[in-house]
Chain A
Amino acid sequence: MSGDLEKFIQQLLRNSEELKLVLEAEAVPRPTDSDSSSSSSSSPSSSESETDSDSKVPGAITRLKQRRKDAKINRKRVLAVVAHIDPYGEEQGCVFIFKSHMKASTAGNTIVQHTVEHAFPILSGFTIAMAQAKRNTIDLTSASMETLKQPQSAEFKLTLHPGHDLSQRSIALTTQDSPHLKPFLTEVKRLKDISVVNSEPGATPSYPWILPYTSKSKPSLLSAEPQDLRHVHRQISELLSEASAGSLGDDAFDTSIIREFWIRSQVEQLYNSGSQTSLKLRIGTFNVNGKLPSQDLSAWVRGPSTGANKYIPPLKELSPFSLEGIATDSSGEGTALPFGKQPDISADSNASSVTDLPVAAAFAGKYDDPDLIVLGFQELDLSASALIYSAETTREDAWLTAALAGLGEKAVEYEKLASKQLVGMLMVVLVKRTMKDCFKRIQTNSVGAGIMGLMGNKGAVALRLAFEPRPTRDARHPRGAVLTFVNAHLAAFDEMYEKRNADFHDISRRLVFDAGAPAPGAPSPQAGGAPPNAPLHAFQSDALFWLGDLNYRIELSDSDARALLADDAVDNLPLLLQYDQLNLARRTDKAFANFIEHRILHFPSYRFNSGALSDNLGYDLKRKPAWTDRVLYIPSVAVRVQQQTYQCHKEITMSDHRPVSATFELRVPTVDGEKLDAFAHGLWKEVSHIEDAEDIPRVSVEPAAIDLGKIEYHREAQQSVLVRNTGRVPFAFRFVPLAPGEPICPRWLRVKPVAGLVRPGEHKEIILTTTVDNPVAAKLNVGDPHLEATLVLHVARGNDSFVVVSGDYARTCFATSMQRLVRMPGPMRMTGVRRLLPDEQAATAPKEVMRLISWLMSYGSDVDNLFLAPGDLAQVDEIREALDTGTELPVPDSNSRAALALSVASCLLQLLDALPEPLVPPHLHQACAETTDRESAFELLNGLPGASVNVWISLTSLLHFLCQQDARMPGALRVRRLAARFAPVIFRDESALSKPISPVGKRKFIMHFVS
């Protein structure tokens, strides 16, 4: 029997799923259930109508017998452990409960059919509790499975708890299938262990593959709480099943994904078209190094002042300087002084230092006062006793007082909304009094990530709140937004990069908010929120702000970092930031994936010292400067976040860090929550049945062939294709590759969107964009210039449609290797792809490069800022065209000469930058950067290929010549700037991941030849 059953269940599963074990069971009838009615299922999946078998059976007695039989069948359940194997071979488990149904077959007899009644993803919260007769419940998780070893004949009661999803109730069943029970539970346990191990870094992992089985289950979008921001930012292409022309993927699964994205985008449109309200935030982070406030914090707390005249009102009790007394006191005894009862201070002591502060007049009036001020502190208290949790709030009070004092005359308009401290980490949130009632459901939490992972010398404190705008005429319950703020202090030291990333994931995973327990003193949670105890994840927000001392350092040597900061620092900041570990982590998705950080325009905020212990910029000589203090955010589709400032406040010098601040304006939709719900549910209803609609989807894709004409280097051209729904049911479509494992289109083409949903009578426009960047050009330059690609658009449960895209590529010397350029018998466009000169006849250097250099020698040597100022884009294109076709380079007249020279110089730089391999081969970079004298620099040139040496010599002579011209810039400065400009081109790094080679060393190498 069970063998057949397995075979049968296996048939219900898709190929990506594997049936592990089955277990026969019976539903526990509820007291109200009569024998004839099946226990009604709470799952929306069993919505189909069952054929009434009664009519087929004549006679009352037989009918009664039949009813009993039906009832028994109706109670029958099959439990199945199913594992989904993803493309990486990872297993995800699920327990399905199948329900039996009687159904009349077309042949006239009744047959048994199974449908999915429940599906429980085997996540960390999932449990099966087991009890025998009247014995105590045994929890699987802590399972001693002794009960199972006893002689079997008994009936067991099983209770399945979903754990994670509280919309699902627990399910009670009985089973007599004892031989299968133990292996079944063991398998569940095994899958559960896997899920626990794999749950990092994600929160509650979603098991989207289950969706199609319970296809009527609603997407998470329709739930009351915001979606997980990490899922929101995932690309649809990462999620869709593997498929190609002629090999169907998992249409049902793809449909569920495409549908969810579609509903989300429709809702997004509603947000964007509706009215919005603005919310202003100021966020600050400050590692105070155990100090107590001793300086005016206004620059940090208040930011650009709105008034030109800074006036500090006589709020004596709030003055930061009143705290100096406490600072000394509390460091010893920890004497607590109640808020607002500070000792008297003299009025003039503050006046002088405060008026010294520079007031950025340019900002005056540009920013409104923030509605919310979120301040994150780290290393609030360095004393050993701080590690032991103490309820004292002395330091919090001191900083709160100082922060309010920093607000000056505005202080009266603000009050504390909430705060949270964990050892050295503190978050204080101030709110504008007039806005206080708009912030609801305030919750705080903290996680330790320090010593032993728990101590709390590192970790995070966080706060979650719901911003609910005031009702308007159109929106009685405006949707508003859930905002979460995390103030983190991650592992210190240069080499602890991986640990910082791990800390981030650890905090992300463990930081949850219990909806049932609001922060003490905060307004009580609103009715209608999440069900009690459903843990809410930090990422389940409409916008998440992550601030703190993240401790990421710069992956360069100490001397490089200092040297780059010392000269032309403003030009060097972007370069330094390339080597910033946080940026590296973000680029490689190691941590803070999908987070946004505003461009940093300020100097590193760490580590300062004074006197002989510091360099000219004030940085501690023993610690490499770093941007340890950061503010990042991750928005959802609902909230638009615009950052207005991102600053480091050098004038606040009391700590070894300088405080960092950021100002944001949020646009929060005020669309009515109920209207929004109705809209989203309406959409859902319209498209929730498309997998099992009876009608076959009909699609027309036009045009079926597109000629893109001339396809050029670095010039985007667009065309569009319309996907029309000519049928009567909505359909989901996606592009699939022609051959398995390939991309859906060649690299010179981009297709957007790659998937979508179209309702009857509607159409979706697909934009095709040609893009030829350097790597693509490198390939195309050596291939057939006629390009053609077949795009395959697959409609779920329907046809594959083809779109043939063609065009003719204009080959270019850009992105062509030096070795090839020297063997070209003529200009690129004028010679066939395969016609190359034999090696003996190769040119000594590429003509294209030489033409540009000699032009610059003749007409450009006295032009200011040559190579440093950008050229005109259109002119650069013209010059490139001249190189490729062999026509004359433009000859300048006296008016146009300077501008033209800048364009020729830009063209040369770009040509060098486009080389598939940099002018100096990568294996020599390290040696070049380490060269200390001229002679060994010249020696290194011997390692270069012949053509490169010739280019090198002509190029450096040109640069040398430029520096000798009496331009407005002093020679040495010009040398430095030119070296800085050419170093990243000539010594282009192969990948962002390889060990960085000193940028300063590269520059010095060039300077050996130029100065």
Chain B
Amino acid sequence: MSKQFQFKLVLLGESAVGKSSLVLRFVKDQFDDYRESTIGAAFLTQTVALEDGTSVKFEIWDTAGQERYKSSAPMYYRNANCAVVVYDITQSASLEKARSWIRELQRQADPSIIIALCGNKSDLAVRRQVSQEEAKKYAEEEGLMWGETSAKSGEGVNEIFTEIAKKLPKTAPPSARAGGARTGAARTGVDLNKQATATGGQNEPCSC
């Protein structure tokens, strides 16, 4: 029977690069041409089934890219197991911003955090300002995962999340019940869907 692991994932990147769009594609397989800029942070979950029979449940925090909310970001990448830092391939400035996020994560986040650099809007390749080579080279230097996606067409989206899922260490106990949960500080998110299971909800049953 498969085991389920649970991880906290945070999305970072400049405003309008398509963070919320990526999450919407990944979780609901939908795309909106007109999305409102995020004010605050959106919480969603999605489970990825892996070939080895295990599954990874992501607790996703999609943060706000606008500069004025920058100070709140540490609260969301705190305790995160992985981060997806997004840039827009048609805006070279957005890669600069991504670099600064990565620097901040390397300094401040949990040292074991897995970081993926993600070039979004690959469907707009005609207006490309960031070459694949440049981004890839940077990612290799920093030891990051890298990929291009299009939230609009869906291209590359599942792949990048699946790659992250594969790379995450499967040593944590199932459902990542943090050992020191009670101390408060180390408390990871509570799985809302557990509740539904307990009262006979419609989500997938847990395996044991």
Contact = CB atoms under 8 A, between A and B. Distances in A.
Contact of B200 (A111, A115, A244): A115
Nearest to B178: A15
Contacts of B201: 48, 692
B175 A11 contact: yes
A798 B60 CA distance: 11
Given A251-B192, A799-B43, A802-B40, A116 B75 contact: no
A132 B10 CA distance: 56
B76 A111 contact: no
Interface in B141-192: 174-175, 177-178, 181-182, 184-185, 187-190, 192
A245 B79 CA distance: 12
Given A246-B41, A248-B190, A216 B75 contact: no
B126 interface: no
A11 B192 contact: no
A984 to B, nearest CB: 41
B199 A213 contact: yes
B71 to A, nearest CB: 7
A353 interface: no
B200 A113 contact: yes
A134 B43 CA distance: 56
Nearest to B189: A248
A113 B200 CA distance: 8
B197 interface: yes
A15 B79 CA distance: 16
A97 to B, nearest CB: 12
B40 A793 contact: yes
A799 B187 CA distance: 19
Given A247-B79, A691-B195, A804 B43 contact: no
Contact of B61 (A14, A101, A246, A792): A246
B72 to A, nearest CB: 6
A801 B37 CA distance: 12
A212 B195 CA distance: 7
A44 to B, nearest CB: 10
Nearest to A47: B200
Given A248-B43, A692-B201, A738-B75, A802 B69 contact: yes
A16 B195 CA distance: 13
Contacts of B200: 45-48, 101, 113, 115
A740 interface: yes
Contacts of A47: 200
Contact of A249 (B64, B68, B190, B195): B190
Interface in A804-826: 804
Nearest to B197: A12
A13 B199 CA distance: 11
Contacts of A798: 42-43
Contact of B205 (A15, A85, A105, A799): A105
B26 to A, nearest CB: 15
Interface residues of A, number: 61
Interface string B192-208: 10111111111011111
Interface string A1-38: 00011011011111110000000000000000000000
B78 interface: yes
B125 interface: no
A13 B195 CA distance: 8
Contacts of B71: 790
B195 A246 contact: no
B39 interface: yes
Interface string B68-95: 1101100111110000000000000000
Contact of B40 (A5, A45, A792): A792
Contacts of B43: 248, 797-800
A13 B75 CA distance: 25
Nearest to A736: B75
Interface string B105-117: 0000000000000
A989 interface: no
A800 B73 CA distance: 12
Given A242-B184, A251-B190, A116 B72 contact: no
Nearest to B184: A242
A739 interface: yes
Contacts of A249: 190
B90 to A, nearest CB: 27
Nearest to A704: B39
Interface string B38-66: 01111100000000000000000100100
A911 to B, nearest CB: 36
A701 B190 contact: no
B39 A802 contact: yes
B113 to A, nearest CB: 14
A766 to B, nearest CB: 14
Contacts of B196: 691-692
B205 A247 contact: no
Given A213-B198, A801-B39, A246 B190 contact: no
B177 A15 contact: yes
Contact of A790 (B69, B77, B204): B69
Contact of A87 (B40, B175, B184): B184
A252 interface: yes
Contacts of A105: 204-205
A15 B181 CA distance: 6
Contacts of A705: 68
A790 B195 contact: no
B208 A701 contact: no
Nearest to A741: B184
A821 B69 CA distance: 37
B199 A116 contact: yes
The 6 closest A-B pairs by CB, nearest first: A48-B200, A246-B76, A245-B75, A801-B40, A15-B181, A8-B208
Interface of A: 4-5, 7-8, 10-16, 45-48, 85, 87, 101, 103, 105-106, 111, 113-116, 212-216, 242, 244-252, 691-692, 694, 701, 704-705, 738-741, 790, 792-793, 797-802, 804
21 contacts: A5-B208, A10-B177, A11-B194, A15-B182, A45-B199, A103-B205, A106-B204, A111-B205, A116-B199, A215-B199, A242-B184, A242-B187, A247-B187, A248-B190, A251-B190, A692-B195, A741-B184, A801-B39, A801-B40, A802-B40, A804-B69
Given A11-B197, A252-B192, A701-B39, 13 more contacts: A5-B208, A7-B208, A11-B208, A15-B181, A16-B181, A113-B205, A115-B199, A245-B41, A246-B41, A246-B61, A792-B40, A798-B42, A802-B69
